[in-house]
Amino acid sequence: GQRELVSSQSGTFEGGRTTMVARLGAVRTVTVSVPVGMRVTLTVSCGISHSTATDTTTATVHILAPASTCVATIQVPASSPEPATWYLAAR
């Protein structure tokens, strides 16, 4: 069988930034993690379809029809403590 390719990215929310955008290839599952107790919203857009998940610490989105490229948008509340590191894993 085919090995699943996992891509990961990370970054930091600081300087008042509350939104980050990560460009992805064709993905089926995207998970983002932030520091414990922080709320995070993950939106993944693939072509004309998009999915959103909001959760505390970790949010996961499953894509039913992946396009050739997807874009993940990660948002945290403006009241979140800084600097906050985010980790994104896509497969």
The residue ranges of DSSP E strands in 1-91, in sequence order, are 7-13, 19-24, 29-33, 39-46, 49-56, 58-62, 70-75, 84-90
Quote the tokens at residue 30.
């995207």
Average pLDDT (8-31) is: 94
Instruction: Render pLDDT for 48-89 as a digit per residue (tens, 0 to 9).
Output: 889 999 999 999 999 987 677 899 999 999 999 999 999 999
Does position 6 have pLDDT exceeding 80, yes or no?
Answer: no
The residues near 16 (Cβ < 8 Å, ≥ 6 apart) are 78, 82
Among 1-10, 25-34, 55-64, 82-91, where is mean pLDDT lowest?
1-10
Task: Give the helix ranges, DSSP H, for 1-91.
Answer: none
Residue with tokens 């379809």: 49
Instruction: Assess contact for 80 and 18: CB atoms under 8 A.
Output: yes
